Amino acid sequence: MENSLEYWIALNLALADDLKAAKKVVDRFPRLADAFTASVEDFTVLGIDRERAERLASPKLLDQAHREIEKLAKKKYSILIQEDGSYPEYLREIFDPPFVLYCAGRVEALKGPAVSIVGARQPSAYGRAVAERLARDLASRGLVVVSGMARGIDSIAHWGALKGGRTVAVLGSGLDTIYPKENRSLFEKIIERGAVVSEFPLQSPPLGFHFPLRNRIISGLSLALVVVEATRKSGSLISARLALEQNREVMAVPGNITSDLSQGANWLIKTGAKLVETWEDVAEELPSPLKEELLSQKEEDLAEIPSLSPQEEKVFALLQPDSLIHIDELVETTEFSVSEALSVLLSLELKGVIFQRPGKFFQRRL
């Protein structure tokens, strides 16, 4: 069968790490099946290095592709290629869309209007709170939140979005190589309602150069990209540049001018990025009629405080949305015992008004 899935997977197995070389092959062989009867020399004359040319000409490559498809089917993962109707339209528009996209979860999550949220790997308490609230507010209003499932702002954005709606994660590794490893539970949660995608073969490791490639897909799937905390050398600024090249809206959350974590986002704002404080700031920059539809929705107070007991009110009043307080400080201030304080904190956490952070630190939701 001409241009069958097996040929596209074989091309991806050989050249997922070299999009330029893959495009040369596709341009040279309009009937992709013909590429798999070509010689090493046929590929080297296209300017493809010998190692990659030998991969492409290997008689084992199509067998490997067949096994890859079987593995994907067994896991119930989807494979999207550009000629499919299910391939994301926004992604198809960019200069260098992936030829193959592996998808775990719900393919339909890739079709909805989306906004990307990216940022620092080690954010401040302020950055965590803002990213979680913004993702939750956007997702609860029907937008898909896209990010890279990395540590920090990416993961927080995914978790926040899951509290309100759908999210899509784009990996810099294969779907069988979750990175970072501690995000396995996040991966499982995302695929229940959203999707996790990658252009890399299933077993691909998280190599450093994969992540800039991954970033073009994050922005490519989205109408707009929001940066929440970034240093001046942050990879988030690469994502912002790619978004601009793709004609996407770029926005940023302002931060403390004395913090290194704010320099990248504040610089983006100074150079023309939209300043974002709330979900409405994002909605205002989206195309019509989506913008009007979102802004016409009745504003809900998502941060409305539920009924609290006197003990809960006492602890809640001590917590802040932009800083962390340790359990020891709460015990000292409230004069509760440790067990009493932990009981109250657990109740507040179950009511959804506070976060617990590693090391027995606590933080109020925005």
Residue type, 324: L
Mean pLDDT to the nearest integer, 330-335: 89
Alpha carbons 192 and 277: distance in angstroms, whole number: 30
Alpha carbons 282 and 236: distance in angstroms, whole number: 18
Among the listed residues 200, 156, 218, the one whose alpha carbon sits nearest the alpha carbon of residue 365: 156
Mean pLDDT to the nearest integer, 171-192: 96
Percent of the chain with pLDDT over 90: 79
> Which has more pLDDT, 338 or 147?
147
Alpha carbons 328 and 5: distance in angstroms, whole number: 59
| pLDDT on residue 155 | 97
Phi, psi at residue 20, to the nearest 5°? -65, -40
CA end-to-end distance (rounded Å), the chain: 55
Topology given in CATH for the domain delimited by 107-295: Rossmann fold (3.40.50)
**pLDDT by residue (tens digit) across 124-139?**
999 999 999 999 999 9
| pLDDT on residue 2 | 43
**pLDDT by residue (tens digit) across 275-315?**
999 999 999 999 999 999 999 875 544 445 678 888 988 89
Among the listed residues 2, 57, 1, 61, the one whose alpha carbon sits nearest the alpha carbon of residue 25: 57
Alpha helices in the chain (DSSP H): 5-15, 19-28, 40-44, 50-57, 61-74, 89-92, 125-140, 153-162, 184-193, 210-220, 235-245, 260-270, 279-283, 290-295, 310-316, 327-334, 338-350
| pLDDT on residue 3 | 46
pLDDT above 70 for 190: yes
| pLDDT on residue 303 | 46
Alpha carbons 85 and 104: distance in angstroms, whole number: 18
Whole-Å CA distances, 318 to 179, 334, 364, 365: 36, 9, 9, 12
| pLDDT on residue 299 | 53
189 contacts: CB under 8 Å, gap ≥ 6: 162
> Which has more pLDDT, 4 or 248?
248
| Lowest pLDDT segment from 69-83, 146-160, 304-318 | 304-318
Q: What is the mean pLDDT of the chain?
A: 92
Mean pLDDT to the nearest integer, 160-172: 95
pLDDT above 90 for 145: yes
Say whether domain 310-364 belongs to CATH 3.90.1150.10.
no
**pLDDT by residue (tens digit) across 193-235?**
999 999 999 999 999 999 999 999 999 999 999 999 999 988 8
pLDDT above 80 for 171: yes
pLDDT above 70 for 366: no
| pLDDT on residue 127 | 95
